[in-house]
Amino acid sequence: MSEIHLSQLLKLEKIENGIYRGQSWDLGFKALFGGQVMGQALAAAQNTVEGKGIVHSYHSYFLLPGNAEHPVVYTVENLRDGRSFASRRVKAVQHGRIIFSMVASFQVPEEGFNHQHVTMPAVPHPDELPSQMDTLQLKFDKLPQTVQEKIKYHEPLEKRVVEVFDADENSDTDAALRYVWMRVKEPLKDDHNLHQSLLAYASDYYFLMTAVQPHEDKIGNNSLQVASIDHAMWFHQPFNFNEWILYCMESPYAGGARGLVRGQIFNEKGQLLASTMQEGLIRQIDKSKKS
């Protein structure tokens, strides 16, 4: 795999009005990374809303696993074009089957009331933390082959993990929390749509596994089936993804083979940039019952 440039990943080929094709990149997994589908679907919707506002929220469902070896076709349906708001429905299709759907809402910027009743956690600055690559290299030989292959490639995002759960150490297994600093590696141009769709891409990193974190000691030799079911995101204010952002993730509940996670994204000044929420499948598979 060559170096991944996220801006290229979101450059969609226009097939005809409302229909786009996006290339897939294998990040070391068999299935298509959910963040790629979200980022490309949002980019497809943005392509049809030029001059009619910027996205403030989207709600999406993952319907079928995607194949990272094949491109994805995105069809965009115009649900509404109002004076202040516009809505688009996007379907992601592979091999004639819908694998993902999204409804995104756009708003023409305007002034309004403002408050922020949440504070960014007090965490070390990313300059004080090792990179994700440095952390993984310390245990490289113990990692699964697929993960080893993945970290050999150039990561498109620079990530600094504040708290890492480690089953080999005395970690706090009750803390369903993750804090991760992120920024893009390649310099991005000043394009609000591009920064938003890239943040949608990044919002799927680490997210659902936050709900697994308190139960690592119960997995043992069993394996897990983990998959996103839905994902929602709200964009609160403009931001620059060339600069560090802090992704704060927590899981308030897990049960019924599902986990719920929610996230808040801050800039270095502590301003809330975006909020996320996701429910996903977390199914424990008992290998001893297999014949």
- Kindly state the percentage of the chain with pLDDT values over 70: 82
- The pTM of this model reads 0.88
Cβ-proximal residues to 238 (8 Å cutoff; 6+ apart), any chain: 192
Residues 4-19 pLDDT 10s: 577 888 999 999 999 9
Q: Write down the catalytic residue from 60, 228, 264, 275.
A: 228
Sorted by where each starts, the structural domains of the chain and their CATH numbers stand as 6-109+125-289 (2.40.160.210)
Instruction: Give me the pLDDT at residue 217, please.
Output: 67
Give me the pLDDT at residue 291, please.
Answer: 45
Question: What rounded mean pLDDT belongs to the chain?
Answer: 87
Q: Is 278 a catalytic residue?
A: yes
Report the pLDDT value the prediction gives residue 126, as an integer from 0 to 100: 94
Write out pLDDT tens, residues 208-217: 999 998 887 6
Q: 60, 204, 264, 275: which one is catalytic? A: 204
* Average pLDDT of span 19-35: 86
Q: How large a percentage of the chain has pLDDT more than 90?
A: 67
Instruction: Tell me the DSSP string of the chain.
Output: -----HHHHT-PEEEETTEEEE-----SSSBPPHHHHHHHHHHHHHTT-TTS-EEEEEEEEE-SPPBTTS-EEEEEEEEEE-SSEEEEEEEEEETTEEEEEEEEEEE------------------GGGS--HHHHHHTTGGGS-HHHHHHHHSPPSEEEEESS---TTS---TT--EEEEEEEESSPPPS-HHHHHHHHHHHTTSSTTHHHHGGGHHHHTT-EEEEEEEEEEEEE-S---TTS-EEEEEEEEEEETTEEEEEEEEEETT--EEEEEEEEEEEEEE-GGG--
Instruction: Kindly indicate the confidence band of residue 173, based on its pLDDT and cuts at 50, 70 and 90.
Output: very low
Determine the pLDDT at residue 186: 85
Give me the mean pLDDT over the 167-172 stretch.
Answer: 47
Residue 148 has pLDDT above 70, yes or no: no
pLDDT of 1: 38
Tens-digit pLDDT profile for residues 97-119: 999 999 999 999 999 999 999 99
Answer with the residue of higher pLDDT: 144 or 82: 82
Residue 241 has pLDDT above 90, yes or no: yes
The pLDDT score that the predictor gives to residue 85 is 96
pLDDT at 138: 62
Cβ(20)–Cβ(44) below 8 Å: yes
Catalytic residue among 60, 94, 275, 278: 278
Whether pLDDT at 187 is above 70: yes
Three-state SS letters, 87-105: EEEEEEEECCEEEEEEEEE
Quick check: is 57 catalytic? no
Catalytic residue flag (residue 87) = no
pLDDT at 197: 96
Report the pLDDT value the prediction gives residue 184, as an integer from 0 to 100: 93
Reply yes or no on whether the pLDDT at 167 is more than 70: no
Amino acid type, 7: S
pLDDT tens per residue across span 246-277: 999 999 999 999 999 999 999 999 999 999 99
- pLDDT tens figures, 51-78: 879 999 999 999 999 999 899 999 999 9
Residue length, the chain? Answer: 291
> Residue 58: what pLDDT?
99
